[in-house]
Structure 1
């Protein structure tokens, strides 16, 4: 049971270069952030610099029978946090990540199960983050998220994620 003001234990870092087991990471995430269990995340995949979730719409339904904007915005923010956290873990950094700024643009209603994709805003975003971490011990990365319902782009989001200095 989580307690206010008490940090959740971190998931041990995988060996550098081996990556994370997506199922183990999602299980830990559900314990660390209790609302995750109610978001409808069915699967998480990583391919290079792309992180993708497959989600069920039902947990995020609004009164109109479509996706609730607040839930979708929370999911885009969390997806960016996961991208940054998993990137850090891949390179052996044991750091905290916080969202510094986030915004969304809703383009079409979400009418069925959907997928969310997250990528760095700049082609060399990960490399620049690594340089900042090495030089200053902290850094920031801009990420973009898209929500697709079938072939329809329903939401575009952008967030800046700050990597805090080591404790």
Structure 2
């Protein structure tokens, strides 16, 4: 999927991404990289709001699952089931999230389960980046529901 198409999709389907001014920097089979400026995501300490940081990580991880399923020709609803977020240091400027599958070797079993049971779960992670360094990590479990037709 073209990055402009993904960005438009996120802004339309998940309006919070538009309010956060999320941009898609890269989108491929192995990773999706999203970024956001500080200004619409700032807190009272003049650093990035923890909820915005977590949201960017979730959006990057969700987008990776969404795009991979589209590449497989599968129409699915994808939702987050649970997540864990670790924050290492404050973010005082534009920041990014780079997603990847927690266990890439598990993707074929995820697809097999999805096709057989019409529902499957997969773990995805996002590294939160600021000034070229990892400043936080998100780990999330996503559920895909295979759509009929």
Query: With structure 1 as the length reference, what TM-score do the two structures score?
Result: 0.82
Give the aligned partner of residue 54 of structure 1: 35
Q: Give the distance between the partners of 2:112 and 2:32, measured in 1 at CA.
A: 22
- Does residue 111 of the first structure (1) align with residue 64 of the second (2)? no
Q: Which has the larger helix fraction?
A: 2
Moved over 4 A (4+): none
Query: With structure 2 as the length reference, what TM-score do the two structures score?
Result: 0.91
Greater shift in the superposed pair: 76-85 or 58-67: 76-85
Deviation at 1:148, TM superposition (A): 0.9
Q: Give the distance between the partners of 2:75 and 2:104, measured in 1 at CA.
A: 24
Answer yes or no: is the 8 Å Cα contact 2:76–2:147 preserved in 1: yes
Answer yes or no: is the 8 Å Cα contact 1:40–1:57 preserved in 2: no
The structure with the largest alpha-carbon Rg is: 1
Deviation at 1:149, TM superposition (A): 0.4
Q: Which has the larger strand fraction?
A: 2
Aligned length: 148
Answer yes or no: is the 8 Å Cα contact 1:40–1:58 preserved in 2: no
Tell me the SS of whatever aligns to 1:164.
Answer: strand
Tell me the SS of whatever aligns to 2:89.
Answer: coil
Let me know the Cα RMSD of the aligned residues.
1.5
Q: Give the distance between the partners of 1:124 and 1:55, measured in 2 at CA.
A: 30
Deviation at 1:63, TM superposition (A): 0.7
Deviations 1:113-135 (Å, cap 9, x if unpaired)? 12210000113132222121233
